[in-house]
Every structure is written in C-alpha cells, then in structure tokens.
Structure 1
Amino acid sequence: MDLLTQILLGFCLATDAFAVSITNGMCSKKITAKNVYTTALTFGGFQGIMPVIGYVLGNTFTDVITRYQHYVALFLLGIIGINMIVEAIKEHRDTENVCGTKNIFSAKNLTLQGIATSIDALAVGVSLAAINANIATTSIIIAIITFLCCAFGVYIGRKFGVLLGIRAKLGGGILLILIGVKIFVESCI
C-alpha cells in the first residue's frame, strides 16, 4: 500500500472521530486546551490501535484471507463505507438529540466515543492483513491524522456545528468504498 493510500485511509477512518469531535465542540459551552488534547489523544489512540488488533486477528486467518484478499478488502471497506454513509444520513435527520451528555469531555464519554468511532478501524486492520500492508506505518499515519483532525474538529465545532461533521462522515464513507474498489481493481489486473 503506497503512502498516498495510507494517508487517504487515515482521513477516511478519522471522519467518524472528526464528526464526533465537532459535535463535542458544538455541545460544549467552554473549550479548553485539555478538552482538545484529551479528545484528540483518545480518538487518535483508538484509531491507531484498532487496525493493529484487526491486523493480528486477520493474520490468524491468513490462508483463507490470502486467497480472497481483494474480495475481503472490497467487502469490508465497502460495508464500512456504506455504514458511514447511512449513519451520516441518520444523523442529518436527527440533529436535535446530538447534545445529550452534560460533561461531554468526561473520560468515560470520550472512551466510549473513541471505541465507537474506531470499530471500523478494527475491520480495516483485517483488510490490511489480507493485503499484507505495513501495519506499523499505516496505524501511525491513521493515529496522527485522527489526532490532528479531532483537535481541529473540537475547535470548529463551536463555529460550524453538526452540518460539517455529517458531510465529513459522508465523504469518508465514499472514500472508503473507493479505496476498496482500488484495492480490488489493482489485484485483478
């Protein structure tokens, strides 16, 4: 997997966390540097670790996955991308219930959000095992991009609100599907 694809994958996976960061910023009356760093570290950490876990799990099924790697990558990335698009559409319809938590930056809330937004990264890790990608480099790129996007997301959340977050998730879903198609096409040629 080339560097450009790794960077695009990082941005795709960061979109969920970015959208949640925007929402957190929008729902907070006061944003501190601590809020920004804890949000970015939590989301970046989970997004960086989950592909590694998925990669390890994917390697346990190497014989089966290797034979069908391009199908597995297309299927997993396609499903994740479609799921992100569906979630974005649902969130767009239900923007009234976005700010439900009083202490949006609590450790418990950020941890739950971090896990929820990184489940797709776990599945991507399985896909990365299928194509034998460099997991160390890829997971570091994903973590750094997610960290930067989330730090930025918290700040702009107060200004732009939910609409940008929904569009980011929609765009990320489309990009994940396109990356899956690219991997499929490259392995069939």
Structure 2
Amino acid sequence: MSPLGVLVLAFSMSVDAFAVSVGRGAAIGRPPVTEALRTGLVFGIVEALTPLVGWAAGVAASRFVASVDHWIAFLLLAGVGVHMLYAAVAGRGHAEKTPAGRSFVVLLATAVGTSLDAMAVGVSLAFLDVNIVLIAVAIGLATFLMSSGGMLVGRLIGTRFGRAAEVVAGVALCGLGFTILYEHLTA
C-alpha cells in the first residue's frame, strides 16, 4: 500500500472517533487540554490495536480464501464505507450518541465501539501484502490527533461537521476498496 493509501486509510478510520470527540467536547463545554489528550490517547490506542486483531483473524483464514481475497477486501472496505455514509446521512452518526460523562469506563467503551470498523479493515488487510504494524501505528496516531482536536473544537463546530467528515471518510474507504479490486482484477 502506498504512503498516500496508508494516510487516507489512517484518517478515514479515525473519523468516527473524531465525530464522537466533537460530541464529547460539545457536551462537556470547555474540556481541559488534559481531558482532550486523555480522550485522544484512549481512542488512539484502541484504534491501533483493533486492526491488529482483525489482521490476525484474517491471516488465520487467508489460506482458505486466497483466490477471492481481493473481493473480501473490497466488500469489507466498501461495506464499512457505505455504513459510514448511511450513518452520516441518516443522522445516526456517533456524535449524537456520545455520553457526556467523563468516566474512563464510558470513554473506553466508546473507543471500542468506534474502533470496530478498524477491526473489519484489519481483516481485509490480512489478504494484502501490507505492513500491518505501520498501518496500525498510523491509524493510532491519526486517531489520537483527530480525537484530541475534536474534543477541543467540539463546541465551536458542533456535530454537523462531524457528519460531513464521516461522509468523506466513507467515500474514501469505498474508493480504497474499489482500487484494491481494480488492481487485482487488472493484474
């Protein structure tokens, strides 16, 4: 995967965490920098671990599906992308469901909930020749930046911008899935 592809994937995977962080920042009001950094750290670590878990599961199954691996990668990436588009357009994005509480348990549960799409992407990456550690670190760093920033600007930009970002991420993931499919079918 090209460096640009890794960058697009990393920031696409962090958009739902950004949307949640915007909602948390708006709900808390004026979150202190320490709260924004704590949120970013928790979201970043969880978001970096889940593609590794998905990748491990995909590697375990890869020998059984080698002939259709590009279709699986396409369907998973496009499926996550379409789901993100639907959630944003239907108004069922993560930002509206964000609890205002600051407890670590609530924060961790929210981080896990928003990282399940990264696990599905991790499964699809198992069928490709990629450096999963590099991708997981990129996803974790992007999520840290997006979540911390989302907390700090949440009150200013509100949930509408979070939805628009989720639409862009959904389109990007669908495009990445189509690119993988195209590359394998034309090779």
Counterpart-to-counterpart distance in 2, 1:27 and 1:99: 11
The 5 A counterparts of 1:22-37 are 22-37=22-37
Distance 1:99 1:119, change over 3 A: closer
Q: Contact conserved, 1:27 with 1:99, CA < 8 A, in 2? A: no
Distance 1:136 1:24, change over 3 A: same
Structure 2 match to 1:59: 59
Structure 2 match to 1:114: 111
Structure 2 match to 1:38: 38
Aligned residues: 186
Give how far 1:101 is off: 3.2
Give how far 1:132 is off: 2.8
Structure 2 match to 1:178: 175
Instruction: Give the unaligned 5+ runs of structure 2.
Output: none
Counterpart-to-counterpart distance in 1, 2:97 and 2:75: 33
Answer yes or no: is 1:162 the counterpart of 2:159: yes
TM-score (norm: length of structure 1)? 0.93
Aligned amino acid, residue 136 of structure 2: S
Structure 2 match to 1:84: 84
TM-score (norm: length of structure 2)? 0.94
Q: Contact conserved, 2:23 with 2:98, CA < 8 A, in 1? A: no
- Residues 61-82 of structure 1 show CA distances to partners (whole Å, capped at 9, x for unaligned) of 0112322111011100011011
Identity of aligned residues (%): 30
Give how far 1:110 is off: 0.9
The 5 A counterparts of 1:99-110 are 101-103=99-101, 105-110=102-107
Aligned amino acid, residue 76 of structure 2: L
- Look up the SS of the partner of 2:14 in the other structure: helix
